[in-house]
Amino acid sequence: MPSLRERMAENGFESNDDYEFQLRCLLESPTTGIRTLNIEGEGERRKTAFANALARSLSFPCVLYHDFTDRHPPPPDVILPPTRDELGREEPPIDPLDQIVSEACAQSEGDPTILILDQIQAADFRDHIRIHRLVANGYWDVRDGRYFANPNRLLLFLISEEPLYHSLRKESFRVWINRHSERQLVYHPTPFGLGPEAQPLFDALAGLFRALGAAPTPSEFTRILSDLRLHARTTEQLRLSLYGRSEGIDRERLADPSHEELLRRVVEASQALAVIEHIELSGDQRPGGRSEASD
């Protein structure tokens, strides 16, 4: 079965960092309220990508999303007609937050449901208090109605660019999302269809990434490797490839002249590998199936 990191990559969030432990803490620890994940970090909308990828990776049949900065949210699936009170006065339409939370509560009665509330720093503080009441007590009030959530089937993801309301923060499990991956993966030639002759190139790349403080993800590394073998012939071209392919590489750091020697080693190792591959290919194609090594 694919790991959580692999499933999240398939759903649009690729990272070398592993969130299996945090997920177990969220899902398997005892609680009396709604399980709530407080997603913090410096990643800006990367936190939104994390939340959506995690929700899809958990295969919950119902995933609902609300952004407090969206002034024109999409219309709900069911549009209720205007209502009037006992005096014949028309009541205002239901607020988008009330609409999405009440729907999440109703859905959780039958299906596992995830509700993502994004950009909470833009919400009215009274809504912070109402969200805390939902997490702690499991219900949401809308006008004269009360909607109850099933705590065994509802997960709440909260995303904010500022610290959450204190009481709400205490009820949540926090996870930090970096702007880019911090965990360095050690890549070897074999998974990329290469032999031991490619190891000098992989070693040169590893040294360069350490100096740059970069940790390319598997797909980023694959594309960088492809550029080296097909296009990059100079250190400047390698710089362009690295910046273009890896989200976590800083442009100013990459341009620092002190990294020129490391860049040159990568280019030379790539060219040496190309020569070896050319010799092997030429040897395999000689008449009679004899290679140059057998002469």
User: Which pLDDT value is given to residue 285?
Assistant: 57
User: Which pLDDT value is given to residue 205?
Assistant: 97
Taking residues 58-86, what's their average pLDDT? Answer: 75
User: Which pLDDT value is given to residue 102?
Assistant: 95
Indicate the average pLDDT of the chain. Answer: 88
Q: Select from 72, 169, 158, 73 the least CA-distant residue to 114.
A: 158
Residues in the chain: 295
Helices and strands, counts by H and E, the chain: 11, 7
8 A C-beta contact, residue 164 and residue 128 = yes
- Give the confidence band of 139 by pLDDT, cuts at 50, 70, 90: very high
8 A C-beta contact, residue 61 and residue 112 = yes
User: Which pLDDT value is given to residue 87?
Assistant: 57
Angle subtended at Cα 183 by Cα 186 and Cα 10, rounded to the nearest 5 degrees: 85
Query: pTM for the whole thing?
Result: 0.80
Taking residues 59-72, what's their average pLDDT? Answer: 91
- Give the confidence band of 241 by pLDDT, cuts at 50, 70, 90: very high
Could you give the percent of the chain with pLDDT greater than 70?
Answer: 87
User: Which pLDDT value is given to residue 83?
Assistant: 58
Say if residue 292's pLDDT is above 60. Answer: no
Structure token digits, residue 10: 């398939």
User: Which pLDDT value is given to residue 284?
Assistant: 62
Say if residue 77's pLDDT is above 60. Answer: no
User: Which pLDDT value is given to residue 283?
Assistant: 64
- Give the confidence band of 236 by pLDDT, cuts at 50, 70, 90: very high
User: Judging by beta carbons within 10 Å of its beta carbon (0-12, 13-18, 19+), is residue 194 exposed, middle or buried?
Assistant: middle
Collect all residues with Cβ–Cβ distance below 8 Å to 193 and sequence separation of at least 6: none
Say if residue 210's pLDDT is above 90. Answer: yes
User: Which pLDDT value is given to residue 294?
Assistant: 40
The CA distance from 158 to 143, in Å, is 24
Structure token digits, residue 50: 């994390």
Could you give the percent of the chain with pLDDT greater than 90?
Answer: 74
8 A C-beta contact, residue 158 and residue 39 = yes
Collect all residues with Cβ–Cβ distance below 8 Å to 24 and sequence separation of at least 6: none
